[in-house]
A and B are shown apart, each in its own frame.
Chain A
Amino acid sequence: MQKKAGPLFYVFLILFLFAVMFPFLWQMLASFKPPGELFGESAFSIAIKEPTFNNYNLVFTERPFGTYLWNSLAVATLTTVYAIVVSVFASYAIAWLNFKGKTVILGIVLAVSMFPQIATISPIFMFLQSVGLTNSWLGLIIPYTTFALPLAVWNLTIFFRKLPLDLAEAAKMDGASIWQTLTKVFLPLAMPGVFTTAILVFIAAWNEFLFALTINTEESMKTVPVGIAMFQGQFTIPWAEISAASIVVTVPLVVMVLIFQRRIVSGLTSGAVKE
């Protein structure tokens, strides 16, 4: 149905893009308003009388937002690195090597990726508490495995299956060991898929909420989503600061998405579509 688009289509497209972007744009607008302009009539105005950067300032000076960012960055990066390293081997084996039980293994991986987090949290919490790992990075990296590892194994396997298998056969013919095939032939080909999967795992870990909320409760160990969610007090919600903090977190993600959109889309859709 590769038809040329008509003018009506572009009208629709602009409306659609507007709807998709609106909450983000509105939040950005609010982040530059002084708190006074977030109430009353000026709350609905798109013009800012006195634009300010003070909200951004407050987020970093009045609240430990820098600490939250650092914790999120560390936990998400470490989770990604460790999940990718473990799953590159597993996926390579499932996709390229011959042995029995591969379908069962992949089935287990897929099933685990569907586990609701709430079903694993009580034993994980009790375990982490008994070994004193609550309020630490490791205390989050361990439970993040429950979604990071299945996600990585599943995506990498699907990606690796698309790589030309005859190259491996040729390498074997030439007398290369499995290790040589892996490092010399396979990894260079696999890098794009590994990179895409790493982005997906990183975003999943960066956005995680339930484990972070229950396991790291100390202010100095909170991650960004929990930190921002806890900005709201019992009776007041500091919208100006929440907006600024949200924009600080979202802009890097948006930039990342813009740069890597092709890879992300292929990573997201490869598991679901037969090609």
Chain B
Amino acid sequence: MAKSKRRMSEKQAGYLMVFPALLIILVIAIWPVVRSFWISLYDVRLNDPTKSQIHSAYGIDMERYANGLPLLKSNIANEKKQVEAPAAGELDAVLQSVLAVDKELNQDPKFTDRYTQVDDLLNNMQPVPDDVKFLDAEQVQAQKLKDTLQDAEKKVLALSNDKQLKTENVLGIVRGLEGSVIEPNFVGLAYYKQYLTDSRMWASLGNTVLFTVLSVVCELVLGLWIAVLINKQFIGRGLVRAAVLIPWAIPTVISALMWKFMYDGQNGILAHVFWKIGLISDPGVLLTTKWGAMFSTIFADVWKTTPFMALLLFAGLQTIPESLYEAAEVDGATKRQQFFRITLPMLKTSILVALLFRTLDAFRVFDLVYVLTGGGPANSTETISIYAYKTMFAQMNFGAGSALSVLVFLCVALISMGYIKILGADLIGENSGK
């Protein structure tokens, strides 16, 4: 190892050492963002088998087809034995129409081969890989199969409604077969257009901005105040530092639960105290009204992150040379002047960096709202991340949800670009650590 490395130049070694980290970041973080945008251009729904993936062309889900066709044959044969002659005739016609299309499809040897392959896998109880499962098809053929199956469904449904069938099996199988026809689900920018006029999107964006601005401003003012106050010599500095880290270290979910417990309208201590001192008219308002819930969420966030802000600013304060204040003192500057003329300008970079991280964190807030209010009451604390999550994992609408998450990404990118423009290259510059 040592020998081969000796011959390697410093440059090559550098690239070699950075490569794994860079590759992983590229594959696991950057690619998914690009892919999110890609998914948002398609109508992808995980609860609909024909739309569970991106399909840019017509195709047939061979697993479904190979599962359904033999079932259709056997069930129609079964059903025919049990029903009256006219109904049996109709069922036969349905089967013949489907088999006619199947014959047409089988004129393509690729279809026959794939059918045999999938059928073998199914018979051996083996999973069908995705690249085998989906077979591209001509639009005309796919459309024809779909039309035939829809027609079949109508006929079987009519029979079923007339109580001419003994079981519902055939209807279910025909419907299942319909799911084997894959249509392209490309929708372009339709979701973005839809969301631009969606009042729920604007409301959630508004909630996110309100939450971000209010909580970050409170955190900055309080954090700065605390930082300046504890920037003295006093007994128990270590204790304060440790105590300040506790809210930061507690998982957000747990701190959200702690606050939920204290906000509770019946047994929550904080709701009770606020009510007793007349801050709120009823102990219940903290979690059941729009402004109460928004206030509660911000309050909990301020509790959790102000200490962190104070810590960053405190570290910044300690880098300001004492001599500046001594000189100001000699020149007769007041404490107030010292704060605005020395402390604030010298802290500018620290403040901006702390603000940048806090703003981005607040803008993508999820855990706190999810646990504390669930976005309620009546979506009044729903942030854009929560909306995207609900669209994806409650409605299983991944296309639309991805569009929302791309919007979150764009907002975050805009915010960081704004900050970085003010900060300049200070953030990454070679000198920042020295």
Nearest Cβ distance between residue B133 and chain A, in whole angstroms? Answer: 11
Q: Which of A240-261 contact B (CB under 8 A)?
A: 242-243, 246, 249-250, 253-254, 256-258, 261
Which of B245, B385, B402 has a CB less than 8 Å from the CB of A261? B245
Asked whether A273 lies within 8 Å of B315 as measured between CB atoms, the reply is yes
Q: Which residues of A contact B385 (CB under 8 A)?
A: 116, 118
Any A CB within 8 A of the CB of B242:
yes
CA gap between A98 and B10 in the complex, in Å: 7
User: How many chain A residues have a CB neighbour from B under 8 Å?
Assistant: 113
Residues of A within 8 A of B17 (CB): 89-90, 92-93, 97
B115 vs chain A, min Cβ distance (A): 23
CB distance from B214 to the nearest CB of A (A): 19
A122 close to B319 (CB less than 8 A): no
Question: How many residues of chain B are within 8 Å of chain A by beta carbon?
Answer: 117
CA distance A92 to B230 in the complex (A): 35
**Which of A102, A110, A246 is B427 in contact with, Cβ under 8 Å?**
A110
The residues of A that contact B16 with a CB separation of less than 8 Å are 93
**Would B238 and A150 count as touching, CB distance under 8 A?**
no
Out of B10, B357, B367, which one reaches A225, CB within 8 Å? B367
Whether B406 is near chain A, meaning CB under 8 Å from some CB there, is: yes
Q: Interface majority SS on B: helix, strand, loop or mixed?
A: helix
- Least CB distance, A149 to chain B, in whole angstroms: 6
A226 to B367 CA separation, bound complex (whole angstroms)? 10
Chain B residue nearest to A212 in the complex (CB): B253
Q: How far is the CB of B146 from chain A (nearest CB, A)?
A: 25
Whether A145 contacts B29 by the Cβ 8 Å rule is: yes
Q: CB of A70 within 8 A of chain B?
A: no
Beyond A3-B232, A272-B315, whether A250 also contacts B254 by CB under 8 A is yes
Residues of A within 8 A of B291 (CB): none
**Residues in A215-251 with C-beta less than 8 Å from chain B:** 224-226, 228-229, 237, 239, 242-243, 246, 249-250
Taking a contact as CB atoms under 8 Å apart, the answer to whether A162 and B325 are in contact is no
What DSSP secondary structure best describes chain A's contact surface?
helix
B234 within 8 A of A: yes
Q: B233 to chain A: which residues have CB within 8 Å? A: 2-5
Task: Give Cα distance in the complex from A239 to B251, angstroms.
Answer: 17
> B143 interface residue, CB < 8 Å from A?
no
Find chain A residues with CB under 8 A from B416 CB.
Answer: 111, 114
Return chain A residues, CB-CB under 8 Å to B246.
Answer: 20-21, 24, 253-254, 257
Q: How far is the CA of A21 from the CA of B304 in the complex (A)?
A: 11
| A146 & B261 in contact (Cβ 8 Å cutoff) | no
* A171 on the B face (CB < 8 A): no
Smallest CB gap from A111: residue in B: B416
Contact call A93/B402, Cβ cutoff below 8 A: no
- Chain B min CB distance to A254 (Å): 6
User: Within 8 Å of chain A (Cβ to Cβ): is B312?
Assistant: yes
CB-CB contacts below 8 Å: B403-434 with A: 405-406, 408-409, 412, 416, 426-434
Give CA–CA (A91, B315) in the complex, Å: 23
A120 and B366 in contact, given A21-B246, A158-B432 (Cβ under 8 angstroms): no
- What is the CB-to-nearest-CB distance from A137 to chain B, in angstroms, rounded to a whole number? 16
Within B131-162, which residues are at the interface with A (CB < 8 Å)?
none
> How distant is the Cα of A19 from the Cα of B306 in the complex, in angstroms?
12
Interface string of B341-371 (1 = CB under 8 A from A): 0000000011001100100100110110011
Closest to A97 in B: B14
A105 within 8 A of partner (CB): yes
Question: Does any Cβ of B come within 8 Å of A207's Cβ?
Answer: yes
Question: Is B173 an interface residue when CB atoms closer than 8 A count as contact?
Answer: no
Residues of chain A at the chain B interface (Cβ within 8 Å): 1-5, 9-10, 12-13, 16-17, 19-21, 23-24, 26-27, 30, 38-40, 43-44, 86-87, 89-90, 92-95, 97-100, 102-103, 105-112, 114-126, 129-130, 142-143, 145-146, 149-150, 153, 157-159, 161-162, 177-180, 203, 206-207, 209-210, 213-214, 224-226, 228-229, 237, 239, 242-243, 246, 249-250, 253-254, 256-258, 261-262, 264-265, 268-275
A-B CB contact pairs (8 Å), 6 listed: A98-B11, A179-B2, A179-B5, A246-B258, A254-B249, A269-B315
What 6 new A-B contacts, CB under 8 Å, besides A44-B272, A265-B315?
A: A5-B234, A89-B17, A122-B39, A126-B46, A146-B29, A246-B258
